[in-house]
Chain A
């Protein structure tokens, strides 16, 4: 049996798309030239509708810390917050993009939290003030969190034009101010972002001078 003309055309287009898919390496540095880890690099395709989110994400609580410190998800993703410690935690967010509270609990909450609005969310634990983490809710499936070396590779980007932005928990200003446009085809391209960062003033776990926190 001969394949139909439509099937042939579709097959050619799919393989052509794969052949043209490219990668984008994003290099993030702070304004002193040091590698910017825990930054979220994301690419938004010009004019293309985003695919539906594919999977759940997990923000664990281990040894009285959120793991990972920074999580990136596509808008609409359900995030579960298991508590792997043998004590209770109380997770909350005041961020406008997602206000929620998971009152004192152990184990895995019955329901995940669906992040249905684009934005950057700060998580805290009401019991352990030093516990802090971030969820970047993005309008695109193309994102990565930078490693210790300040690098992230966005793979399998279909050919086309993208606006690439980088967000960091300590970023001064908005990521749009540092946006860069790039055309992606076959192969790997590279972009450098230099981020102005605020001082990191996270609450400390080590004993400090305040009395109101853990006591």
Chain B
């Protein structure tokens, strides 16, 4: 539905189109791809991740902007190719600024709908409704915060997930070329944790479970459960040239559902281009 509306408006608005093309490619490391609590079950991996998008910005009034975009995302994991994915998506967002200029407070309401294709039963449709707001405290410091609801629907119900996420972060322009952010995210919703059975302690509170071979031998059981995640993140963007920057990011996340608790360290390095 979102996709067809976006495409319709995209093609009907060529006359006033302001196109923006973005691409991002790089690597991501997840220290605990299996979301496991016991160190013997933990599996880490690297992935090559890419994302390209085209967006059409329509300035409807002085303060209101409509952005319509289409994108293609993909991930290729080094060892655990069951997690390789590719999929198209479409997004629509309305941004309102309370005044002129980049320091004016703003709110953004955005929806992205996409399809994530795995070569396993994990494939499904992903929808993220995002509300974000921000304000610049000075020409160097800005604060952002928001809420997102994410819903993933798969033909295999086991992979259906619903997640609520709140975030806050500070963006600091160190120099004209260097930008740093520090952020916090609270996430509550479905997670899938892999463990070598038997794990009656997890089975007791898991919503569903399935035996999986995504991490090879020994076979693991995937437990779907409600988890609460606290994540701290730190990222740096350095402008290489007019249209390109290099971005580095780190996130520490701890997810709990008593008595289960697991940690993830995520490291990302990307080159991003926008034209």
> Residues on A close to B: CB < 8 A?
87-88, 90, 92, 94, 101, 103-104, 124, 126-127, 129, 199-215
Contacts and interface: CB of A to CB of B under 8 A. Distances in A.
Most chain B beta-carbon contacts within 10 A, residue among A92, A104, A200, A205:
A205
Contacts of A101: 100
Interface of B: 16, 18, 20, 22, 24, 57, 59, 62, 65, 67, 93, 95, 97, 100-102, 106, 108, 110, 132-134, 139-140, 142, 144, 171, 173-177, 179-181, 235, 237, 239-245, 247, 272-274
A212 B132 contact: yes
A192 B120 CA distance: 71
Given A90-B62, A206-B241, A207-B274, 11 more contacts: A87-B18, A88-B18, A126-B97, A203-B102, A204-B176, A204-B239, A206-B242, A206-B274, A207-B272, A209-B171, A211-B132
Contacts of A210: 134, 142, 144, 171, 179
Main secondary structure of the interface of B (DSSP, over half): strand
Contact of A207 (B108, B173, B273): B273
Most chain B beta-carbon contacts within 10 A, residue among A94, A103, A199, A212:
A212
Contacts of A103: 62
Most chain B beta-carbon contacts within 10 A, residue among A92, A206, A213:
A206
B59 A88 contact: yes
A206 B95 contact: no
Contacts, number: 104
Given A90-B59, A104-B59, A199-B176, A212 B241 contact: no
11 contacts: A88-B16, A88-B18, A101-B100, A104-B62, A199-B176, A201-B140, A202-B176, A204-B239, A206-B239, A208-B245, A211-B108
Contacts of B173: 201
Contacts of A213: 102
Given A87-B18, A90-B62, A126-B101, A212 B108 contact: yes
B20 A214 contact: yes
B100 A94 contact: yes
Contact of A209 (B67, B177, B247, B273): B247
Given A208-B179, A210-B142, A92 B101 contact: yes
